[in-house]
Chains A and B, each alone.
Chain A
Amino acid sequence: MVKIALEALASCSGCEISILDLHEDLVKLLDQAEIVYAPIIMDVKEVPEDIDIAIVSGSVRNAENKERLEELREKSKYLIAYGTCACYGGITGMADLYTSEEVTSRTYTDNPSTEPAELPNEVVPELLSIVHPAADFTFIDGFIPGCPPKEQLTHDILIPLINDEAPDVPKKSVCADCQREMEHVEFDKIHRRIEGDPDPGKCFLSQGYVCLGSVTLGRCGALCTSAGIPCHGCGGPALDVLREPSHDIYNGVIKRISHLSKMPEKDVEKQLYDIGHVIYGFVIGSTTMEDKQVSLIPQLVKK
């Protein structure tokens, strides 16, 4: 039996839920694999030795997250960073837009429903100065981005891994799965996502909406765009964005809008709004993205 461990670091537990969303398939999987550690569903309190596959979700936000990650590395043969938080810092990484003092002050001293009080100051929490993806601290054998990864993908990856085979994973962007039609339309205005009434058959970018489908890894089946909502980039950067130093999420989107609309790139840039939340919402904590010469992340992050 293959021994599997599940651990959520600083996260929402959605990744663990996505594994439970294998539903009946999870039962079949349990014929071949045994879950030996997973606090969300079982009472084993210590991380056991000799784990075959450890699946870690969430970002590393504090010393305890870091210790737990390192303990799992030590005790497991194969360590998977599962979900966009573990791979790129995820949405929790947006905390890097503000200082920790600003955040705690908002909670305890400057909050409309809270009696102003000192921070729970009898403990000095060992807060890491920024949000980290798992690979900042330890060797990761496999990355499965997605917020959360789709259950079918988990199925297609876990089964081969359990059988000691290499999984075959899709490598295309969200656009590859999107049914909307991309076309050239001249326009001179970028819309907020709530403005107007987007045509359900046409590419969001072609209509002047910021959609990250072309720069996002597409293992989700383009669910948001088919639900009438532009891609928010929760799957993490597309492979070409990761591989090419001059290609970034931000300039990728600008180039694409400019190309489709004939708006000069400078005009597109001027009209883009809320870049931290709309463009980089899921990757601000990622050193990979931050190190790019063309990335705006270093400017957005005040450290």
Chain B
Amino acid sequence: MKNIEISPVSRIEGHAKITVQVDDSGNVADAHFHVMEIRGFEKFLEGAAVEEAPRITPRICGICQTAHHLAAAKATDMVFGLEVPETAKKLRELMLLGQYIHSHSLHFYFLGAPDLVLGPESDPALRNVVGILKSNPDLAMMAIKTRKIGQMITGVVGGKPISPVTAIPGGQSRGITSEQQADLLAQSKEAITLIEQGVEVAKPLFEQYAEAIQSLGPVESHFGGITKGGTIEFYDGPAKIIDKSGNQVYEFAAADYLDYIEEKVQPWSYLKFPYLKQIGFPDGNYRVGPLARLNVIDTIPTEKAGALYGEYKDKYGVAQNALLYHYARLIELMYAAERAVQLLEDDSITGTDLRQHLSEPLMTKDEAKESSETRRGVGMIEATRGILIHDYETDAAGFINRANLIVSTGQNNLSMDIGVRETAKQMIHGEDVAEGLKNQLEMIVRAYDPCLSCATHAIDGSSPLEVDIYDSEGQLLKKHLL
């Protein structure tokens, strides 16, 4: 029995490792995707005044901070029973679109594309965005410019490009001026042009790698995404769950998620495995994120993304192939820029009715102690990597008693693990594994754009760096702490 280790899994957000166990006859006995870093947000949010949550939780993840900021803000709206005015809702959606433009272009061009543009077996020292900068400077500059526009949108609307601050209970703390509107509109239009160029480069790659798309990371699962009446939707709406064939099985509002989602703890991993509660584990495995969203929706109502979606849908139907996450991500990137243009062409975006205020004074902490009343707020949003839920229960004064977070990447954990294991079984024979082959295992994980800072927000401990060695009957022989 020999253990093959890929560590760290690179070009992902956070710390992870892949281990593959090869038995004496050279066959893969088992393989796992291990997650290595852990913090403690669900616990240390306890005691916080709930209005601080939109400021604390963006630090769960420096890449999808806007999604945490907004999911938290939506939960606080509900805690205080506040209705967000239309302009503020549009600003929040715009801020989220900035997040999509930054995060999707970061992942597609900087993290995922080097495998496709330079090839999975290219020199690992050059297989990165700097390598692309050298071999294809125009493509790299296009990537940098696209991402920059996303960060500018979030910066202007959210106050800062990383860990924005303007979403507060009941609305937004600040609006945008007509000068800012004009500037962001011009930038968003430029983003569409840049993304069109990116699509031209990317589309042939999906043809070139058709075989890898079919073979890498096989798994069949349910899918979950937010949609309003079948239309693509990032900011607000119920979650829809479909089965492997695309038939709807559930639709639920944020506050009801506990009836549909449960998380499994596996002894070999610190990262939990969410699944569909009514179906059970592991059959209730479901995926989220770009691939899932495009499977769940029926339409993208913007011109260019809508056309790309139609073409993609005709070709792949209900897509199960993990590498198609990249294609779906690119289509969403286009939608995000087009939707930003739509919002910015609407003059109500500069409106000044930004916030509903509390109608009565808050209880003091001492008064709340005397009261048995509790409050609850659940915010659900489509983060770039999939459904994100923030659930806070507070005392009568709005101090958090209990926080529960269902983050996007956790929901893809089981599929990443299965994908790595099945591919290892198919491709690895013998103990000597070429670097390019190892990179293909990493490519499976990368396709999901896992955000392990998010995924490991919950646990305050050290890493689950364990390798289990099983015999051919599946009996656990030995455990190693790495």
- Known contacts A227-B173, A278-B49; A113/B258 CB under 8 A: yes
Decide: B459 and A107 in contact? CB cutoff 8 A.
Answer: yes
Contact with B along A218-254 (1 / 0, CB 8 A): 0010011011110010100000000000000000000
Decide: B44 and A98 in contact? CB cutoff 8 A.
Answer: yes
Decide: A13 and B62 in contact? CB cutoff 8 A.
Answer: yes
- Given A21-B151, A107-B459, A274-B48, output 8 extra A-B contacts at Cβ < 8 Å: A23-B147, A40-B13, A103-B459, A106-B46, A111-B263, A113-B274, A120-B267, A123-B466
Residue of A nearest to B37 (CB): A10
Chain B, 439-482, CB within 8 A of any chain A CB: 439, 453, 458-466, 479, 481
Contacts of A227 in B (CB 8 A): 158-160, 165-166, 173-174
Which of the segments B4-12, B202-210, B219-227, B327-335 contacts the partner chain? B4-12
Query: Residue B10 contacts which of A42, A61, A102 (CB distance < 8 angstroms)?
Result: A42
Query: Residue A112 contacts which of B63, B404, B462 (CB distance < 8 angstroms)?
Result: B404
Query: Residue A39 contacts which of B8, B130, B481 (CB distance < 8 angstroms)?
Result: B8
Give 9 CB contacts A-B under 8 Å.
A21-B161, A42-B10, A94-B40, A114-B262, A118-B265, A127-B460, A193-B168, A194-B80, A224-B159
* Complex Cα–Cα for A35 and B131 (A): 11
Contact with A along B148-188 (1 / 0, CB 8 A): 10010000001111110110111001100000000000000
- Known contacts A106-B42, A123-B464; A194/B168 CB under 8 A: yes
A108 within 8 A of B: yes
Q: Enumerate the 6 nearest inter-chain pairs by beta-carbon distance, A residue then B residue, closest first.
A: A14-B62, A125-B462, A227-B159, A228-B173, A62-B462, A103-B460
Contacts of A13 in B (CB 8 A): 13-14, 61-63, 453
* Complex Cα–Cα for A270 and B74 (A): 30
Query: Residue A95 contacts which of B124, B355, B398, B460 (CB distance < 8 angstroms)?
Result: B460
**What is the interface of chain B, defined by CB distance below 8 A to chain A?**
6-8, 10-15, 36-40, 42-44, 46-49, 51-52, 55-56, 58-63, 65, 76, 80, 106, 110-111, 124-125, 127-130, 133, 140-141, 144-145, 147-148, 151, 158-163, 165-166, 168-170, 173-174, 257-258, 261-270, 272, 274, 355, 357-358, 361-362, 365, 391, 398-399, 402, 404, 406, 439, 453, 458-466, 479, 481
Contacts of A192 in B (CB 8 A): 49, 51, 362, 398
Decide: A39 and B479 in contact? CB cutoff 8 A.
Answer: no
Residue of B nearest to A146 (CB): B162
Contacts of B365 in A (CB 8 A): 273
* Complex Cα–Cα for A229 and B51 (A): 11
Taking residues whose C-beta sits less than 8 angstroms from the other chain, chain A's interface range is 35 or more
A126 within 8 A of B: yes
Tell me, rounded to whole Å, the shortest Cβ–Cβ distance linking A200 to chain B. 8
A176 within 8 A of B: no
Tell me, rounded to whole Å, the shortest Cβ–Cβ distance linking A22 to chain B. 9
Decide: A97 and B47 in contact? CB cutoff 8 A.
Answer: yes
A27 within 8 A of B: yes
Decide: B43 and A120 in contact? CB cutoff 8 A.
Answer: no
* Complex Cα–Cα for A64 and B110 (A): 26
Decide: B40 and A92 in contact? CB cutoff 8 A.
Answer: yes
* Complex Cα–Cα for A194 and B266 (A): 40
* Complex Cα–Cα for A114 and B391 (A): 14
- Known contacts A62-B462, A64-B463, A273-B49; A223/B56 CB under 8 A: no
Decide: A232 and B55 in contact? CB cutoff 8 A.
Answer: yes
Secondary structure dominating the interface of A: loop
**What is the interface of chain A, defined by CB distance below 8 A to chain B?**
8, 10-18, 20-21, 23-24, 26-27, 30, 35, 39-45, 61-64, 90-92, 94-95, 97-98, 100, 102-104, 106-108, 111-115, 117-128, 147-148, 192-197, 220, 223-224, 226-229, 232, 234, 273-274, 276-278, 281
* Complex Cα–Cα for A111 and B361 (A): 31
Contacts of A27 in B (CB 8 A): 133, 140-141, 144
* Complex Cα–Cα for A8 and B398 (A): 34
Decide: B47 and A276 in contact? CB cutoff 8 A.
Answer: yes
- Known contacts A12-B62, A14-B162, A43-B125; A64/B464 CB under 8 A: no
- Known contacts A104-B459, A107-B459, A194-B80; A40/B125 CB under 8 A: no
Decide: B59 and A147 in contact? CB cutoff 8 A.
Answer: yes
Residue of B nearest to A226 (CB): B159
Query: Residue A229 contacts which of B162, B165, B170, B462 (CB distance < 8 angstroms)?
Result: B165
Contacts of B173 in A (CB 8 A): 227-229
- Known contacts A41-B129, A120-B464; A277/B48 CB under 8 A: yes
Decide: B63 and A17 in contact? CB cutoff 8 A.
Answer: yes
Contacts of B148 in A (CB 8 A): 21, 23-24
Query: Residue A20 contacts which of B59, B110, B461, B462 (CB distance < 8 angstroms)?
Result: B110
- Known contacts A98-B46, A227-B159, A274-B48; A62/B168 CB under 8 A: no
Tell me, rounded to whole Å, the shortest Cβ–Cβ distance linking B376 to chain A. 11
Decide: B43 and A106 in contact? CB cutoff 8 A.
Answer: yes
Residue of B nearest to A101 (CB): B460
Decide: A107 and B42 in contact? CB cutoff 8 A.
Answer: yes
Contacts of B36 in A (CB 8 A): 64
Contacts of A103 in B (CB 8 A): 40, 42-44, 459-461
* Complex Cα–Cα for A112 and B376 (A): 13
Contacts of A128 in B (CB 8 A): 462
Contacts of A42 in B (CB 8 A): 10-11, 125, 127-128, 130
Decide: A115 and B63 in contact? CB cutoff 8 A.
Answer: no
Contacts of A90 in B (CB 8 A): 59
Decide: B49 and A277 in contact? CB cutoff 8 A.
Answer: yes
* Complex Cα–Cα for A17 and B399 (A): 32
- Known contacts A91-B59, A273-B49; A43/B11 CB under 8 A: yes
Tell me, rounded to whole Å, the shortest Cβ–Cβ distance linking A284 to chain B. 9
Interface centre among B40, B129, B268 (most CB of A within 10 A): B40
* Complex Cα–Cα for A91 and B62 (A): 12
Contacts of B13 in A (CB 8 A): 13, 40
Contacts of B357 in A (CB 8 A): 196-197
* Complex Cα–Cα for A114 and B266 (A): 11
